[in-house]
Amino acid sequence: MKKVLIVFGTRPEAIKMAPLVKEFEKYPESFDTRVCVTAQHREMLDQVLTFFDVQPQYDLDLMKPGQDLYGLTAAIITELKPVLEDFKPDFVFVHGDTTTTMASSIAGFYSGAKVCHIEAGLRTHNKYAPFPEEINRQITGRVTDFHFSPTEASQENLLRENIDPKSIIVTGNTVIDALLQSVEKVKREPSDLVSDLDKGLNGASLILVTGHRRENHGDGFIRICEALKTIALHRPELEIIYPVHLNPKVLEPVNRILGDINNIQLINPLAYHDFIWMMDRAKIIITDSGGVQEEAPSLGKPVLVMRETTERPEAVDAGTVILVGTDTDKIIRETFALLDDEEHFKEMSSRHNPYGDGKACGRIVRFMRELGEN
């Protein structure tokens, strides 16, 4: 029996790893599967664990007010040591590009376990964009034994870095597994919040906004907010809903610039199931999120990405997203183009999602079951 430890700490990681946990749990005769959460995000993480009915065996509960990258990185490595010594996993699974991912991969390497990286091979080749995620994923890639890449393009990135081709498995992205499993459940069982929001919209077209990335803090967020303000004032028939990240560097400019505009709703961060409903209800999504770039095309939603570079160029190439950066004029121009040009909107919203078919977790677990049997 193979001993598998799945480690994650943020809400995006939890969303993408929860269906993998469930897939491993289908085979108790093959795997002793345990989950460790660092709780790099606490409340938002717990919402996802509840929604997917995932119960961690280890909870490091590391989130602290004002925590910086130095302290978090050190705490993850230090606090994982007794977990690794207790369970002695054969494989440590990590996801993506968070500080939890990078630090856990190093701890797993120190323990002698084989490191398995879900969503491996994403690159911008600019170590400062996104910060610190680009370096997190590159460091993780250096200690990884098995790279589960979502696309052929991410596989090519790894091959260019001289990664052994036999260690790379192209699977699609597990976020599509999570999305397709969740969207119907959300429609069947809407929350009270969703019901109230839907009534308040009264049939109006909705633009959903998310934004929180460090590289946009400061002037970037000011430009983003000015763009949203212009869009709202020129199109009073629209509703813009912005679940605002709790970071003060996001809260301050967003509330100051957008707080008194009638058709902009600034709300608290949404639970995963409510956010899925909101994406499905939206006409256009404006975001700096990596996960949304992957999810929204499966729902037929055009995405404007408020970043200068993206580690997900497949979406740009496929035409499902447009990079607008934090350029106020470009955000406004591309939004109005989608609202006013019906053919442009239809073409973008009907493009094929390059990130998978919802069967990524099955491919990963099948590979692990066959490992060592051939």
What's the CA gap between 247 and 258, in Å, rounded?
16
Q: Which of 323, 338, 332, 327 is nearest to 284 (CA)?
A: 338
At 280, list the tokens. 């499905």
What's the CA gap between 123 and 292, in Å, rounded?
17
Name residues whose C-beta falls within 8 Å of residue 137's C-beta, 6 or more positions apart in sequence: 96, 97, 101, 102, 120, 122, 123, 311
Contact of 132 with 69, CB cutoff 8 Å: yes
For residue 183, is it left (φ>0), alpha (ψ between -120 and 50) or beta?
A: alpha
3-state class (DSSP) for residue 9: coil
What's the CA gap between 25 and 34, in Å, rounded?
9
Point out the residues that are catalytic.
97, 119, 133, 212, 214, 245
Among positive and negative, which fits the CA dihedral 305, 15, 178, 90?
positive
